[in-house]
Structure 1
């Protein structure tokens, strides 16, 4: 097969000495230059719309992932929360999932707003959970539990060691 997609096949019958040759070309189903140019033009034309769609879907996936992460955490360590706090987080997650199902074509900003609302509601409760986990495990001041809290609030603390 050559670079143009043309296959030359030859066969020879050894007993009779007859030989035949056939050339196979892949002309059918090929796009014309006009078709290719049209596809490129369409791709450029819809590039901005495609990017907007990609960011919208990304925001939706991020919100859905956050909800399922909260639900997973609730399932894993929810028994350490009060029943009231657990219900607040569970209801917020369920409401957010229902909102996602009913608003499949929402804009990126709407997904981000839903995530901010959910974070604002659930973050203090989840912080209590992790704070309780640190004190219940007998954490000493300056231990990993406290350092993890500092990491989330301010970023990592870097100390130079000789």
Structure 2
């Protein structure tokens, strides 16, 4: 009986980790896609970068829909692939914002021409 409980616990832990990896990938892809479509960021993203973000996110979302039974390693690998493509673009965006902050003063809470509504790319850049 104890052996059964240990076996079920291990299965539950694996299932929980798989669901967590899937949710992480799904959340990252949808948040990044939403940010790429944000009107406030369109002027800061180049057209090619925006296209790359949108296409990569849409491909990932389609992959998720077609791979509902993937294991946690597959979900994590797919997230790494998404991050490898998108993080350099997101990083450029953040570096551009930081340069504007320095230009307009460190004490400035608003960037010229920016509208602060919340959302955006907050929380989508995974830094190591």
TM-score class, shorter: 0.7 to 0.9
User: How does the TM-score come out when normalised to structure 1?
Assistant: 0.58
1:46 aligns with 2:15: no
Look at both structures and tell me which one has the larger radius of gyration over its CA atoms. 1
* Poorly superposed stretches of 4+, deviation over 6 Å: none
Alignment of structure 1 residues 22-37 onto 2, 5 Å: none
Aligned residue among 81, 84, 93 for 2:48 = 84
Alignment of structure 1 residues 104-143 onto 2, 5 Å: 104-137=68-101, 139-140=102-103, 143=106
Q: Which residue of 2 aligns with 1:71?
A: 33
1:97 aligns with 2:58: no
Structure 1, residues 108-137: CA drift from partner, whole Å, max 9, x if none?
111111111111100111111111122234
User: How does the TM-score come out when normalised to structure 2?
Assistant: 0.72
- 1:43, distance to aligned residue in structure 2 (A): 4.0
- 1:75, distance to aligned residue in structure 2 (A): 2.6
- Runs (5+) with no aligned partner, structure 2: 108-125
RCO greater where, 1 or 2, for CA within 8 Å and sep 6 or more? Answer: 2
1:127 aligned counterpart, secondary structure: helix
Between Structure 1 and Structure 2, the one with more helix by share is: 2
Between Structure 1 and Structure 2, the one with more strand by share is: 1
- 1:73, distance to aligned residue in structure 2 (A): 1.9
Q: Which residue of 2 aligns with 1:57?
A: 19
Structure 1, residues 13-44: CA drift from partner, whole Å, max 9, x if none?
xxxxxxxxxxxxxxxxxxxxxxxxx7x77544
